[in-house]
Chain A
Amino acid sequence: RKEVEQDPGPFNVPEGATVAFNCTYSNSASQSFFWYRQDCRKEPKLLMSVYSSGNEDGRFTAQLNRASQYISLLIRDSKLSDSATYLCVVPGNTPLVFGKGTRLSVIA
């Protein structure tokens, strides 16, 4: 298994929809997990940190399943401005290992 794997998408969803992305990781010892958002030709920006079972921030919920070694990101009531690439990030053989990202397009 690769250190971090994500479905590249794209996920094309209408405004107002709920969408979820999964990310699997191989390092069972990892204790901290992150979701970053990256807009086209911009730098990654921290969206959420996950240190225990999950975290919620407004329309965004991140959940951690240690037994199955995956984290998920749920976006409720999608907005046009949510269109971006979402990167899953996990400690690994280097300080942080990034997934390749999942591309989301929210359509009016």
Chain B
Amino acid sequence: GAGVSQSPRYKVAKRGQDVALRCDPISGHVSLFWYQQALGQGPEFLTYFQNEAQLDKSGLPSDRFFAERPEGSVSTLKIQRTQQEDSAVYLCASSRRPAQRSTWVYEQYFGPGTRLTVT
């Protein structure tokens, strides 16, 4: 079946520009996650949605980062006034069940990512 899709796959932005990254999760998946992955590092958690509710945004690095999932399916991660340190791969993942902090989570399936380069 269809997996998680993300668009665009590559984005080059000039410093100070706003960007919007889109994620289409697997149909019917309740949970949606955004991660940032810098070169040579593991993915770092940004934010989590359960349906349309943003339950955890503790990983967003600054108030320039904003995410939404208004209808509980497609999600958009927006970065305002991009900086060079925002250059990374932004990964979206979905899971069929809700995530529970600290003890128990279910398998997540990742999209191909959006590689953002800020010049």
**A and B from one complex:** yes
Question: At the interface, yes or no: B56 with Cβ under 8 Å from chain A?
Answer: yes
Residues on the A chain within 8 Å of B110, using CB: 43-45
Q: A30-B102, A31-B104 are in contact. Are A95 and B42 (CB under 8 A)?
A: no
Q: Mark B52-68, 1 if CB is under 8 A from A, else 0.
A: 00001011000000000
Q: A43-B111, A43-B112, A96-B33 are in contact. Are A32 and B45 (CB under 8 A)?
A: no
Q: A42-B112, A44-B91, A45-B110 are in contact. Are A94 and B58 (CB under 8 A)?
A: yes
Chain B: interface residue total (CB-CB under 8 A): 29
Question: At the interface, yes or no: A87 with Cβ under 8 Å from chain B?
Answer: yes
Check A94–B43 contact: CB distance below 8 A.
no
Residues on the B chain within 8 Å of A34, using CB: 107
Question: At the interface, yes or no: B18 with Cβ under 8 Å from chain A?
Answer: no
Interface majority SS on A: helix, strand, loop or mixed? loop
Q: List B102-119 residues whose CB lies under 8 Å from chain A.
A: 102-113
Check A91–B109 contact: CB distance below 8 A.
no
Check B108–A32 contact: CB distance below 8 A.
no
Q: Which of A14-22, A53-61, A98-106 is the interface stretch?
A: A98-106
State which size class the interface on A falls in: 20 to 34
Question: At the interface, yes or no: A63 with Cβ under 8 Å from chain B?
Answer: no
Choose among B45, B108, B111 the residue that contacts A94 (Cβ–Cβ < 8 A). B45
Per the bound structure, the CA–CA distance linking A97 and B107 in Å amounts to 13
Question: At the interface, yes or no: A68 with Cβ under 8 Å from chain B?
Answer: no
Check B45–A97 contact: CB distance below 8 A.
yes
Choose among B41, B44, B45, B113 the residue that contacts A95 (Cβ–Cβ < 8 A). B45
Question: At the interface, yes or no: B99 with Cβ under 8 Å from chain A?
Answer: yes
Q: For the A-B complex with A29-B103, A98-B44 known, give 13 more contacts whose Cβ atoms are closer than 8 Å.
A: A31-B103, A34-B107, A46-B107, A46-B108, A87-B43, A91-B101, A91-B104, A94-B58, A96-B33, A96-B105, A100-B41, A100-B42, A101-B41
